[in-house]
Amino acid sequence: MTMEQRILIDLSDIVGIEYACSRCSGRYLIPIDKLDAVIAQCPNCRQGLVSEAHITSGKRSDADALYELRTALMDTQGRNIGIRLQLSNSVFDGLASRAKI
């Protein structure tokens, strides 16, 4: 018998977006319903977090993609949608290793 471990989340389980700065390691968690503006720069060190324009013309900017994600997540709240997102196994591995500490 083969066992498979999967992590699935309902869309309604996603309640915030976390920004992570690659320079200073600062993290900023914004609830989905409070995301009125995209944080383009790290409030701590001013490192760019989200681009306002995309390198390839014709594609959405990071900021536009985040707004669309936010809108889609908010639109699904309270609905009875039978869809869940599967997370990669590396997420499970990371959770398992933290539990051993």
Tens digits of per-residue pLDDT, 36-73? 888 889 999 999 888 777 666 667 888 888 888 888 88
Whether residue 57 lies inside any domain: the answer is yes
Whether residue 44 lies inside any domain: the answer is yes
**CA distance linking residue 95 with residue 85, whole number of Å:** 17
Residue with token string 């989340």: 9
> For residue 98, what pLDDT is reported?
64
Whether residue 97 lies inside any domain: the answer is no
Whether residue 50 lies inside any domain: the answer is yes
Structural domain count of the chain: 1
Whether residue 60 lies inside any domain: the answer is yes
Q: What is the pLDDT of residues 67-101, one digit of tens each?
A: 888 888 888 878 888 888 888 888 767 666 666 65
Structure tokens at 91: 């997420």
Q: Is 71 helix (H, G, I), strand (E, B) or coil?
A: helix
CA 9 to chain centre: 13
Q: What is the dihedral of CA 84, 89, 95, 96, to 10 degrees?
A: 130
If you compute the radius of gyration of the chain from its CA atoms, what whole number of angstroms results? 17
Q: What is the domain range of residue 45?
A: 15-81
Whether residue 101 lies inside any domain: the answer is no
What's the mean pLDDT in 23-30? 94
> For residue 45, what pLDDT is reported?
96
Q: Both ends of the chain: CA-CA distance in Å?
A: 30
> For residue 39, what pLDDT is reported?
86
- Tell me the pLDDT band of 19, cut-offs 50, 70 and 90: very high
Whether residue 45 lies inside any domain: the answer is yes
Whether residue 77 lies inside any domain: the answer is yes
